[in-house]
Chains A and B, each alone.
Chain A
Amino acid sequence: MSAVIEIRNLSKIYRDFWGRPKVKALNSLSLDVQEGEIFGLLGPNGSGKTTTLKCLLGLLFPTSGTATILGKPSHDVEKNERIGYLPEESYLYKFLTGDETLDFYGRLFKMSSAELKKRKEELLDLVKIKHARHRQLKEYSKGMTRRIGLAQALINDPDLILLDEPTSGLDPIANSQMKDLIIDLKKQGKTVVMCSHLLADVQDVCDRIAILHQGDLKVLGNVQDLLQTKGESQLRTSELSEEALKEVQQVLAKHGVDLKETSHPKTTLEDLFLRTVTESEQRPGRRFAPGELPAGGGDGN
């Protein structure tokens, strides 16, 4: 596996009129995204997720540091041939119909018209917009706009897909479909980078995550590893009766193990996230020194 995205010491500082630093949107971020993985960028609003994506795509110019994507610098438009990008809100042309939207974006790629036509049909099916393909986007609901946005991101059958809040504005069913789709993309061997503040989404689909807060990278690693709490075990069962619970306690006691808590399971990423953010607020700063490649990769810690 090789790195599809390499970010080294990427900083973005917004300055005021006098050139004084006003906001540090991103502070010396370094990370890699490997081919074929689903990578999640987490963080509260304003933590630098979108800034990172925009720097990667050349929409923003980093104050310092470099970002290589598919082996090319971020300002190189050639790389876009193999990239699909779904912006935070679908920034599309409201006056185009769904059909025209896909047609327009498709024409921006090296793609024959027959190919484009085929691809268009597939995507319209995939995102279930066929019935509304001849309506202008201004008449679309939020969910439909999101879906057509995804379709345009996939129009070129990209190898790398960057999704900014892919599930925002989607109802639970669509949300679940979106997640299935993302996993599906991974199965096709594509690399997906997604930003989100919806932890459940990330937990469900991502292989690895990075948590950003106030421009600093706080946590980076394999989801499974990160959520694993050493020295403790967790049992998940169907509803236990009183008797069953007592028996379990007895069995545990026999092995010298305490049953610390019985409850319904919790989204543990949320724990991690809250913990990280709270900790970061108490003890600001980076967790990974610049230049030092954070423990990345799929091999855990």
Chain B
Amino acid sequence: MSFLEILLHLVYQWAIVVGGASVAFLLVGTVISLLQNGSTAPGVLGATLTRGVLDLLFMSPRRIAAIARLTFVESYRRQVFAVGVVFLAVIMFGGWFFGDAKSDSIAPYVSTVVTPMWFVLVPMALLVSCWGIPADVKERSIHTVVTKPVKRSEIVVGRMFGYGAIMTVIVVVVSVVNYLWLIGQIPASLKDQMVARVPVYGQLTFLDRQGLESQTGINVGDPWMYRSYIEGQTQSRAIWRFHHLDVESLKKLESLPLEHRFEAFRTVKGDVELETRFQITLENPESKLRVTLPTMYPVREFVASGSERVIEIPHEVKYRDSYESNAQEKTANIFDDLIDSSNPELGATMFVEISCVEPNQFIGVNPADLFIRMGDKSFTGNYVKAMFGIWLFVILLVILGTTSSCFVKGPVATILCVGLIILGYHLTAHLESQRELAAAQAVHSASGPLEALYKLLTKSPELPNNFGTRVMGIIDSGAVSSLNVAQLAVPDLTQFSTEATDERLGLDISRGFDIPATHMIYRFIIVLSYFIPMVILGYFSLVLRELEHK
């Protein structure tokens, strides 16, 4: 899917969730209004909605700015910035944790400064945004404000902007200080990990032991299903199909840099002291020209820096296409002979095939385990992107916190937001893994609460085949799909994780992968997509309640 298609899909999902929620709120509102106003209810409802639309559409930037400024000054005078001291402490004493301990990765250094950011920024964003409006109501200072020609929507937006500004200042200062610390602390020997690799991934398919095409490789029984395996000295292969290659950029590199991160799975057979190696074959899918590189590469799976696992294939490769000892050495040009550009739909295409050299040993592969490493981008740029991502997250929290504080008191709003954060981290991941599991097992696992309850009570693993079971099934699938809808409404916070399990997601810069700009846009959209409905929700919460502390 192209970026635009994904975007449209997201907008579509957003519209469904926001539309659905609006309808639900409207229904509840109508019922309450009917109970309260009787026959005049439709009129009241209509008037409220009209007023709402007008208040939300026509807001005064000047008033928003005034409230935002007030919010900022409030936090500033209440010494929110004292939090800087905490960071100072981390920076000052962070070095202690390293002492003379040797690390072969920059990850501990990065997490020393990035992890505390979460611990400080998240509670702070919640503390700042969840308690402001309730305190305003409690102290009735909001009375003086709302008796001015201020729309409640302006209060919500102004507050969000104000809190946002505070958090922005903090994020900026902290990230600059942290950056300087990182530059100073990371030892020279690890500087080569301070890069932002730009990977180009391919699609992975397999050949099985007999050389037949297959979607997966061999399962060696690793409970972590991340990798699939190929066996040494068999027909088993892992094939990456690269499409839409940027040949011009590659030509500038004058080589094909392939970076790999396979995993070796050793059986008890063979010499324990020998490393598992693999061999690379490049293939032009159109002309069927196959070039097997003579070198056998060790897997070197646990080398922290990727540079040792980069294979620079020169643009002119020498090869023999026969095992005869007197076979002629031939030369192939990667760009001209091995990349095929005849199919405009797929763009420049090349296949890369991996085979395991050692008999009885296995090599595990995941689609992300082999990629073309285009020219690296700067670590600093990546750091800025990660910090921008953290900032977006904090802003999202501010939005959620401000809105929830419009209808509940500070502590409840905080708990609500913490709950959302936990859900945001786990619900998506959980449901994804559920789906993966269901897909992998190729069975319809519509088990839901009722089925589970039935099995628990009867202690029987089987369901009877009767009408009750079918009803139960319908209710259960309803429960499961409502969970899926809930997932759409809950922010996917794994996107903002700085210790992501997959370097293609999240904001982990310690692995040295460039955070794609499109992902940043996606994160930005997430925040924006919450901003609009949250402002609406906050507005109606303030309009429809009496601003009295009870």
Complex interface: chain A residues within 8 A of B66 (CB): 104, 107-108
Interface residues of A (CB under 8 A from B): 54, 57-61, 75, 77-81, 83, 85, 87, 89-93, 95-96, 100, 104-105, 107-110, 136, 149, 152, 156
A85 neighbours in B (Cβ, 8 Å) = 143-144, 147
Give the distance to chain B from A105, nearest Cβ to Cβ, in Å: 6
B70 in the interface (beta carbon within 8 A)? yes
Cβ of B308 within 8 Å of any chain A Cβ, yes or no, is: no
**Cβ-defined contact, B144 with A96, below 8 A:** no
Contact A95 B147 (CB under 8 A): no
B139 at the interface (CB under 8 A from A): yes
State which residues 45-83 of B face A: CB under 8 Å: 51, 55, 62-63, 65-66, 69-70, 73-74, 77-78
Q: Does B184 sit within 8 A of A, measured CB to CB?
A: no
16 A-B residue pairs with CB within 8 Å: A58-B146, A59-B143, A60-B546, A77-B149, A79-B149, A89-B140, A91-B142, A92-B141, A93-B74, A95-B73, A95-B78, A105-B144, A105-B145, A108-B66, A108-B150, A136-B77
Chain A residues closer than 8 Å to B149, beta-carbon distance: 77-81, 108-110
B148 touches A109 (CB 8 A): yes
**B548 CB-CB contact with A under 8 Å:** yes
Q: List residues of chain B with CB under 8 Å of any chain A CB.
A: 51, 55, 62-63, 65-66, 69-70, 73-74, 77-78, 139-151, 543, 546-548
Beyond A59-B146, A75-B543, 7 additional contacts (C-beta under 8 Å) are A59-B547, A61-B546, A85-B147, A95-B73, A96-B70, A108-B63, A108-B66
A83 touches B147 (CB 8 A): yes
- Bound together, the chains give a CA A109 to CA B150 distance in angstroms of 8
- List the A side residues contacting B142 at CB < 8 Å: 91
In the complex, chain B residues whose CB is within 8 Å of the CB of A89: 140
Chain B neighbourhood of A108, CB < 8 A: 63, 66, 145, 148-150
Q: What chain B residues lie within 8 Å of A104 (beta carbons)?
A: 66, 69-70
Interchain CB contact (< 8 A) of B73 among A78, A80, A92, A96? A96
A152 to B63, CA, bound (A): 16
Task: Tell me the complex Cα distance, A85–B144, Å.
Answer: 7
Contact A91 B146 (CB under 8 A): no
Residues of A within 8 A of B548 (CB): 59-60
One of B55, B73, B148 near A105 (C-beta < 8 A):
B148
What's the least CB distance linking A241 to chain B, in Å? 56
**Residue with the highest number of chain B CB atoms closer than 10 Å, among A85, A95, A107:** A107
Q: What is the bound-complex CA distance between A77 and B65, given in angstroms?
A: 18
Q: How many Å lie between the Cα of A59 and that of B142 in the bound state?
A: 10
Query: Taking each of B69, B70, B547, which has the highest tally of chain A beta carbons within 10 Å of its own beta carbon?
Result: B70
A87 close to B70 (CB less than 8 A): no
Give complex CA distance A95, B543 in Å.
Answer: 26
Which of B140, B147, B543 counts the most chain A CB atoms within 10 A?
Answer: B147
Q: Which residues of A contact B62 (CB under 8 A)?
A: 107
Please report the C-alpha to C-alpha distance between residue A95 and residue B546 in the assembled complex, in whole angstroms.
Answer: 25
Cα of A58 to Cα of B547 in the assembled complex, Å: 9
Q: Does A91 contact B73, Cβ atoms closer than 8 Å?
A: no
Complex Cα distance A107/B548, Å?
24
* Chain B residues, CB < 8 A from A156: 148
Closest 7 CB pairs of A and B: A107-B66, A108-B148, A95-B77, A91-B140, A80-B149, A85-B147, A91-B141
Minimum CB–CB distance from B156 to chain A (whole Å) comes to: 14
Q: How far is the CA of A39 from the CA of B546 in the complex (A)?
A: 26
Q: Given the complex, which residues of B lie within 8 Å of A78, measured CB to CB?
A: 149
B545 to chain A, nearest CB (A): 9
* Bound Cα distance A57, B55 (Å): 17
CB neighbours (8 Å) of A79 from chain B are: 149
Q: CA of A78 to CA of B151 in the docked complex: distance in angstroms? A: 9
The interface residues of chain B lying within 8 Å CB-to-CB of A60 are 546, 548
